[in-house]
Amino acid sequence: MTTTPDRVRTAFPDISSRAWEHPADRAALVTLRTLKGFDTVFRTISGLLQERQHRLMYLATSVRVDERQFSDLHDLRSDCVRILGADETPELFVLQTPVVNAFTIGMDRPFIVVTTGLLDAMNYEEQRFVIGHELGHALSGHAVYRTILMHLMRLAGTIGWMPIGGWALRAIIAALMEWQRKSELSGDRAGLLCGQDVHTALRVQLKLAGGSRVSEIDTDAFLAQAAEYEASGDLRDGVLKLLNIELLAHPFSVLRAAELKKWVDSGAYAAILRGEYPRRHEDDDAKISEEFRKAAKTYKQNFDASNDPLIRMLREIGSGLGTTVDAVGNGVGDVAADIKDRFTHWRRNSDGKRDSEGNNDSDN
């Protein structure tokens, strides 16, 4: 028995994950990708986090998707892998829980977990968006900095009482949390590329915010909430917004929908559909400085266009804030650059030590 696809979707041969990554996310990832051996180090760290144990746990407590189990999800995953040109097909597990959730785990062999609560809430095409979103995470290698973040969060609990060290660590964690929130916007773009249906992609965000009763929700009114959220209130509300998101791993659903719509309206999505996208074989040629400039430009544009009361006040303080906003735009990239410098220094010292030990052995 054969099934006919509901429609033919455009595939993107040799597409680089840079095509769907948010500028702030991409700047940091390009930095990390320039480090030879960096992935090996963090695979070791991931081993300390018992990545293999996690997979064994889901192997024992959930259902692994294949041709015989959740075959519809198997077909969705295969189609997403084809569309995004993935070299490998990540394992996919269905976990029994009413919580609506999906996540990607692992660095060496990433695998995807979706909950029964999510499957119950989402229809077939909405599930396609979710699988594409998670596949985007896997292809971008987001587990690398999420591993860093997990370690820093644990470290913060042990030295957070130190006045200077604690505040410095909190600043790094805040930058990485901002990085992770931007990675979710990247995942949404990958999900849209897999489904190629803007209305379905927006409906996923509607359901994440208001449940499965989509007949009670209007898309335009939902998107209008994002504009109202940004513009309403006074200075106190602007500060509260910052406090609300400080330690959130995901942006608010209303804002995710607005950001995805903004990406579509910019023409970037249509350009990819036309075949205008960066290729994977060109990834080694990506320039860190250029990606940092794009990230800073994005933050600057958002700053200039924002109606948030706190941002409006900052704009009114003086023109000197231009350089300040550029610095904010580079903030996430600075964390990645610092990681790169430290890793390079560590590797140089390690190589020197090995050379010294080798020379001593030959002298003996």
For 301-337, how does the pLDDT look when each residue is reduced to its tens digit (9 = 90+)?
554 555 544 445 444 554 444 444 444 444 445 555 5
Specify the DSSP class assigned to residue 351: H
Give me Rg for the CA atoms of the chain: 22
Question: Residue 343: pLDDT band by 50, 70, 90 thresholds?
Answer: low
pLDDT of residue 279: 93
106 Cβ partners below 8 Å, 6+ apart? 46, 51, 54, 55, 143
φ/ψ of residue 92, rounded to 5:
-135, 130
Q: How far apart are CA 93 and CA 63, in angstroms?
A: 5
CB burial of residue 54 (10 Å; 0-12, 13-18, 19+): middle
**228 pLDDT tier (thresholds 50, 70, 90):** confident
> pTM value?
0.72
